[in-house]
Structure 1
Amino acid sequence: MSTVMLVLVVLLSVAFDFINGFHDTANSIATSVSTRVLTPRTATMMSAGLNFVGALVSAKVAETIASGIVNEVLPSYVIAAALCGAIVWNLFTWYIALPSSSSHALIGSLVGAAVVQTWSLKTINWINILDKVIIPLFTSPLIGIVIGFLFMKLLYFFLRNAKQENVKHWFSKLQIASAALMAYSHGSNDAQKTMGIITMALVSGGVISADTGVPLWVKIVCATAMALGTSMGGWRIIKTVGMNMIKLQPVEGFAAETSAAAVIQVMTAIGAPVSTTHVISSSIMGVGSAKRLSAVNWSTAKSIVTAWFVTFPVTILLGMGFTFLFRLFPV
């Protein structure tokens, strides 16, 4: 691997992490902004800080991405192509205000790029893809809906005789804590995916060995890029998730954020690169359904779910396309 290409891969990784930050800001703060518990500026700054902290805590997800997806060392231009595919999809879905999975985008694009490079499906570790990627990415939204629904029902039961003014007062404070936990959880899972890509590139370039793990400087760079991206605020998607899908009260925002954060923390602990977008969106659907089914704007929800299903195959094609393009114009 040339030094130029290695630098390009690192820069593209940082760009992806930055875009991931502002694309997925809604995951952390949409509910607290929509309930007016926090101002957009305060929520964004808090989210950025806790995304940074969360990104430094663990490396299990990064290890899954670095060595658990592809069975062989990929050339640098293939990794760069995969990053380009994921970036294009993230920018497109941000532009149309649709919350899609950055995890799906990155992994799908990586799979497509690797298949074109080797012309073999055997280069992909399909067992790991199934166990740590596909199953969690599809089951976590279902878990998010169920936990959000049950948790909200439980809160309704315990608060059934409480005065609404008191409920709003106390849960306005509690939602700040749940938003903070959600931001931390987002950083602990999402930023690690880019750490894994950079680590893969460093191994490919012979800079580090495969058993070295994620270097500290990679963790800091990715955590910083994620935090800076988050600080920019993805207002288009915040409106879709926090306002268009359901009108939330502080107690409902607290339930959605707490449910989503719990699911993400479990997935992070087992090294599964789960989609935080899927989890928070489905938790909000579950919370809204606990109130009444008509409380959820199912038209908006349908658009979001559609994006979940098309992201993986579309980004596989994007990864393939960019790999062909990089072959034509080698760096």
Structure 2
Amino acid sequence: MDVSFSYFIQQVCSNPALAITTLLTLGVIFVNGWTDAPNAIATCVTTRCLRIRPAVIMAAVLNFFGVFIMTQLNASVASTISNMVDFGGDTNAALIALCAALFSIVVYSVGASLLGIPTSESHSLIAGLSGAAIAIQDGIGGINMGEWVKVLYGLAASLLLGFGIGWIVCKLVTLICAGLDRRRANVFFTYAQIVGAAAMSFMHGAQDGQKFIGVLFLGMAFCSGQTGVAGVIIPVWLMILCSTIMGVGTSVGGERIIKSVGQDMVRLEKYQGFSADLSSALCLLVMTVLGIPVSTTHTKTSAIMGVGAVRRLSAINFGVVRDMMLTWVFTFPGCGIISYVMAKLFMLVF
């Protein structure tokens, strides 16, 4: 399989299906940077450690490096996404189904983000790919349950680890700083939280960037007549392309989502914001190294809940938590059904 940039450009210009797949994939990456990146810097902004614009610029740069560096060091998350479904032996039909999956992700993610509710593009991606695979295979035979199990592990781990590590880190910080002067401690945590937000932005790019690199890589394989990408090394130019688009998307920002995550759910002080950022970044690092795709939104919000629980459970606004959970619960059937319908329609039309 030729993965050179010149060959890719040649195929995009000569194959409309690959051109559409590429545009949709880059569109999803852009939307992901736009809607998910605010979660990484929400606590840093709402505790007034950074203004929104500098925070967004920092997140854009760190998202870029997160995608680029971690994909070179460990691309197991991208491999998991690429091998999660089987679109069958007809690579032309598979490419059309992949287009439908990506289209459904854009529709679902944009619709949810307009309501100001954090979305999980990770789960939208998984649901979209699964719905399209079911449509093209006329059954669940196209689902690789071995890889899907990793998704279930990630769903549980991001919730439990995010909450647990958030609680532990915040509790330790509280005990360590109990005798310190509050004013000096706040000065320290102002800078510490900026570092934590930077780490969270880096790991957001590392996790979510790999997922969409895997999708675009799969589209390239279909265009080349191959049904999979096993054993093929992801080219550097693809990492740079996807990381750049995510960085641009991040620069758009998302003030409403920052407010939902950083203010409405739990009122945080600087040391709590640092604890939430550090714990969620650590959780994402572990999941990325293990090759388990997780939702950065799940992880960050769970960490914030854990931090809030150190003070008291009533510090958490469970109304906002409930709305977020309902959004996540609807993602799999909602995006999956849209993808299934669109895949059937695309295959009928094209």
Which of 14, 17, 26 is residue 26 of structure 2 equivalent to? 14
- 1:279 corresponds, among 292, 295, 299, to 299
Matches within 5 A, 1:82-161: 82-130=101-149, 132-161=150-179
Amino acid at match of 1:244: D
Contact kept? 2:38, 2:258, Cα under 8 Å? yes
Provide the residue aligned with 1:43 in structure 2: 55
Instruction: Select the residue among 273, 290, 294 that pairs with 2:314.
Output: 294
Give 2:232's aligned residue: 212
Number of equivalent positions: 329
Per the TM alignment, residue 70 of structure 1 is displaced from its structure 2 partner at its CA by 3.0
Q: Pairwise CA RMSD of aligned residues?
A: 1.5
Q: Give the SS at the match of 1:56.
A: helix
Amino acid at match of 1:83: L
Partner of 2:5: none
The amino acid that maps onto 2:27 is A
Cα shift at 1:314: 1.3
- How far apart, in 1, do the equivalents of 2:21 and 2:319 lie? 39
For residue 29 of structure 1, report the CA deviation from its aligned partner. 0.5
Structure 2 residue corresponding to 1:169, chosen from 175, 187, 197? 187
Q: Deviation at 1:269?
A: 0.5
Counterpart Cα distance in 1 of 2:86 and 2:272? 41
Deviation at 1:38, TM superposition (A): 0.6
Counterpart of 1:263 in 2: which secondary structure? helix
Partner Cα separation in structure 2 for residue 127 and residue 313 of structure 1? 20
For residue 86 of structure 2, the aligned residue among 62, 70, 73 is 70
Provide the identity percentage: 36
Is the contact made by 1:144 and 1:286 (CA closer than 8 Å) also made in structure 2? Answer: yes
TM-superposition CA deviations, 1:95-139 (whole Å, max 9, x none): 111112110000101100110101121211012101x21211232
Identify unmatched segments of 5+ residues in structure 1.
Answer: none
* SS of 2:146 mapped into structure 1: helix
Task: Kindly provide the CA deviation profile for residues 261-281 of structure 1, in whole angstroms up to 9, marking residues without a partner as x.
Answer: 000000000111110000001
- TM-score norm. by structure 1 comes to 0.96
CA deviations over 1:182-236 (Å, ceiling 9, x no partner): 0000000101111001110111111777322222222111101110000100122
Work out the CA distance in 2 between the residues paired with 1:173 and 1:18: 29
Q: Is the Cα–Cα contact under 8 Å of residues 25 and 238 in structure 1 kept in the other structure?
A: no
**What is the aligned partner in structure 2 of residue 52 from structure 1?**
64
> Which residue type is aligned with residue 60 of structure 2?
A
Read off the aligned partner of 1:269 and give its amino acid letter.
V
User: 2: CA distance between counterparts of 1:193 and 1:238?
Assistant: 23
